[in-house]
Amino acid sequence: MTGAPRWIRILHEDDQLLVVHKPAGLVCHPSKGDAASSLVGRVRLHLGPDSTPQMVHRLDRETSGVMAFAKTHEAALELRRLWHSGFVSKGYLAIVHGHPCADAGLVDAPIGPDAGSPVAVRDRVRPDGARALSRWRVSRRWERPEGAFALVHAWLDTGRKHQVRIHLAHLGHPLVGDKLYGADPAAYLAFVERRLTPEQRATLMLPCHALHAHRLWFPWGGVEREFVSSPEPMFRSFLEGRIVPWQDDLFDPRKPSEPLSEDGQ
């Protein structure tokens, strides 16, 4: 309908499958906010009130990028089969602190709960954790007044919670803007409790951590499909050497949700 609000950026849609770009800062699952305060809610607004979209994978709140939804029960069963059978490949872009010594590598480091952390959702590398494998490659190294940085491509052979973030931090190169696995262990709770200081914001440099799920591959309808999403403006601005102004939480559940702007952000 002409003039109707646009709640999601669509990358692909057919009778069975909907692939969208998830904005950084938007939660996947329904929250206490309005109908558009989660990605699932926005997908329902797009598909209609009688729709039952099914999410078979997820991204962290601050991670942007490609996500797939099943529009029917049969499609959901097929997507889950593909995920559980290892037929799905996910590619990420990450901006990290420092210059990795090697140009590429494999992290084979098990992940489990961080029992010593005051943050319940925080995990870490631990010998008794679940096996986790990440492949990575440096695409670019550069320096800014704030320090040295690198753009890293990462591919997951397993799908553990926070895997890319934990493995890159384990290598000594945490994500720029990561409140949970970055240099300041107090940043996450300060953010949740809405008391981030100017100093903490300056250390983070970005309002959302610099991780983007840019590619998703899986067979669909007998054809190998690839879905691609471009990084968001703040990610690109940091890459280009610009200062990224701090933005308040764009998807704060205390505020009414807004449709996408004309450029789809």
pLDDT tens across 132-179, in order? 999 999 999 999 999 999 999 999 998 899 999 999 999 999 999 999
- Bridge partners for 147 per DSSP: 144
Question: Which residue in 259, 251, 208, 193 sits closest to 33, CA to CA?
Answer: 251
pLDDT tens across 31-67, in order? 777 888 899 999 999 999 889 999 999 999 999 999 9
3-state secondary structure of 258: coil
pLDDT tens across 238-261, in order? 999 999 999 877 787 777 777 776
Question: Of the listed 14, 50, 60, 114, which one is catalytic?
Answer: 60
* Torsion sign (Cα): 97, 236, 157, 129: positive
Q: Which two tokens stand for residue 54?
A: 């099914």
Domains of the chain, start order: 9-239 (3.30.2350.10)
| Residue carrying the six token digits 């764009």 | 250
| Residue carrying the six token digits 């591959």 | 217
Question: Which residue in 116, 113, 232 sits closest to 177, CA to CA?
Answer: 232
Q: What whole-number distance in Å separates Cα of residue 133 and Cα of residue 158?
A: 6
Active site residue 263: no
pTM of this prediction?
A: 0.93
Residue 153 burial (10 A CB sphere; 0-12, 13-18, 19+): middle
The per-residue pLDDT of the chain, averaged, comes to: 92
Q: Give the number of other Cβ atoms within 10 Å of residue 29's Cβ.
A: 11
